[in-house]
Amino acid sequence: MRLTTKGRYAVTAMLDLAFHSQIKPVTLTDIAARQTISLSYLEQLFARLRRAGMVKGVRGPGGGYKLCRKASDINISEVIAAVDEPLDSTKCGGEANCQKDKACLTHNLWMGLSEQIRNYLEGISLADLLEKNQVQEIAQRQHHDAQQAIEIYRHPE
């Protein structure tokens, strides 16, 4: 899992869509204006989101985009995965010649971290974000949980 501005753009746009599309479809032009993202770039992002089955386009006047599923059933992880290229799996793609090398330790760390981030983002839906504005507070609580996890990591049992 990579974390770049591209994914952030996608999440921003999806949040805007989830917030505004409750009555009727939302045009990309509107999202572009509200979020200051270029229209054509949004089109590219939404082409991927559509192919991933997360949004549906409605053509013609009064058309636009709407969510395929409920906002509570779309998590941040899949939004990012939809727009990001599936990045090459770190040279040693499970090759046998890798285990002997110390380099693979790093590989494992990264896999573990990726997994951790993915899980974290999978647990947060678009609806979660729209419902509660006190993200700071939540981050604080999760910070605390993370510290506990680290304790367990360092001193098992």
Partner DNA sequence: TAATAGTTGACTATTTTGCTAGGTTAAGTA
Partner DNA sequence: TACTTAACCTAGCAAAATAGTCAACTATTA
Sequence-distant (≥ 6) Cβ neighbours of residue 20 within 8 angstroms: 26, 30, 31
Burial level of 140, CB count in 10 A (0-12/13-18/19+)? exposed
d(Cα 147, Cα 157) in Å, to the nearest integer? Answer: 16
152 scored as a contact of its own copies (CB under 8 A): yes
Indicate whether 85 belongs to the interface with its own copies (CB under 8 A): no
Which option in DNA, its own copies, none does residue 62 bind, with CB closer than 5 to 8 A by kind? DNA
Q: Which two tokens stand for residue 30?
A: 């509107």
Decide: is 19 part of the binding site for DNA (CB under 7 A): no
By a kind-dependent CB cut-off of 5 to 8 A, residue 19 interacts, out of DNA, its own copies, none, with: its own copies
Encoded one letter per residue, x for contact with DNA by CB under 7 A and - for no contact, window 27-46 reads: xxx-------xxxxx-xx-x
If binding is defined by CB under 8 A, does position 146 make contact with its own copies? yes
Three-class SS of residue 59? coil
| Continuous segment of H or E residues that includes residue 67 | strand 64-67
Nearer to its own copies, 50 or 107 (CB): 107
**DSSP state letter for 58:** E
By beta-carbon proximity to its own copies, the closer residue of 93 and 133 is: 133
Using the minimum distance from each CB to DNA, give the nearer residue, 44 or 89: 44
**Site track 76-95 with DNA (rule: CB under 7 A), x = hit:** --------xx----------
Nearest approach, Cβ of 59 to DNA (angstroms)?
A: 4
Close Cβ partners of 21 (under 8 Å, ≥ 6 residues apart) = 64, 65, 66, 67
Contact 21, 66 (CB under 8 A): yes
Q: 6: alpha, beta or left, given left = phi > 0 and alpha = psi -120 to 50?
A: alpha
Under rule CB under 7 A, residue 4 binds DNA: yes
Contacts to DNA by CB under 7 A: 2, 4-6, 9, 25-29, 37-41, 43-44, 46-47, 50, 56-65, 84-85
